[in-house]
């Protein structure tokens, strides 16, 4: 894999449910070919998130990128590779300044949901952006999906890596990759799969096959 986000085709966000834990999702995703794991702890306390993060970081070390969702404090405490920010989170400029002072500069990603946000994000110089939701997502049912044509337009207009997100699964991932995304980020396609390892493998295989078709 290329160094940093440029080598990432499959990024998996952890999500616990009644069937499996964050750690189980991360382990299956890594074994299935994911190149980045994003710790997404929405319901856990800070103490719980820290302990979960330590275990997942150990799984990722030397294998895949370890990214923390939203929280700079957790990312710095865990020594994560990166931090992914939403539109309403701490400004990128402030995160860059704080992480630089800490002696470990974080790779920073930023969520975008329109061409305007994507173009504005590029000016703020994150290492990559996520763009979506591409399709309707059960995780965020109130969000309006943007579709693959808007994704295609965003990929053409910005010169930083674009990771597509939102409702992506084995049945539509090829369409997403053909629209120009560098890679995809998924949640329920892995965490809610009957066999999460196999689900990750199938996604990874389809992504690579689509990339090879275009060469």
Catalytic residue at 140?
yes
Other beta carbons less than 10 A from residue 63's beta carbon: 13
The vertex-189 CA angle with 186 and 194, nearest 5°, equals 150
> Which H or E element spans position 201?
helix 196-214
| Catalytic residue (choose from 27, 40, 71, 197) | 40
The catalytic residue among 124, 139, 140, 170 is: 140
Q: Which member of 16, 99, 111, 130 is catalytic?
A: 111
Contacts of 49 (CB under 8 A, 6+ apart): 39, 41, 71, 74
CB 148 within 8 A of CB 135: no
Burial 98-130 (b: 16+ CB within 10 A, else e): ebeeeeeebbbbbbbbebebbeebbeeebbbbb
- For residue 111, indicate whether it is catalytic: yes
Task: Tell me whether residue 96 is one of the annotated catalytic residues.
Answer: no
CA 136-133-92 angle, 5° bins: 155
HSE toward the beta carbon, residue 9, CA cutoff 13 A: 22
Give catalytic residue positions.
40, 111, 140
């Amino acid at each position: 894999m290329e160094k940093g986000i440029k080598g990432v085709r499959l990024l998996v966000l952890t999500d616990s449910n009644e069937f499996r834990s964050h750690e189980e999702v991360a382990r299956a995703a890594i074994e299935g070919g994911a190149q980045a794991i994003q710790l997404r702890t929405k319901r856990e306390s800070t103490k719980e998130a820290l302990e979960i993060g330590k275990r997942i970081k150990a799984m990722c070390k030397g294998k895949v990128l370890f990214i923390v969702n939203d929280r700079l404090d957790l990312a710095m405490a865990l020594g994560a590779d990166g931090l992914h920010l939403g539109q309403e989170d701490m400004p990128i400029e402030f995160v860059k300044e704080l992480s630089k002072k800490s002696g470990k500069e974080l790779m920073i990603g930023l969520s975008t949901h329109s061409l305007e946000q994507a173009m504005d994000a590029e000016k703020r110089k994150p290492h990559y952006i996520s763009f979506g939701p591409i399709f309707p997502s059960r995780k965020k049912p109130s969000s309006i999906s943007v579709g693959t044509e808007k994704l295609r337009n965003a990929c053409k207009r910005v010169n930083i890596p674009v990771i597509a997100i939102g409702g992506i699964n084995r049945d539509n991932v090829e369409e997403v990759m053909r629209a120009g995304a560098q890679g995809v980020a998924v949640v329920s396609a892995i965490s809610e799969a009957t066999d999460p390892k196999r689900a990750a493998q199938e996604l990874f295989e389809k992504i690579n096959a689509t990339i090879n078709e275009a060469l």
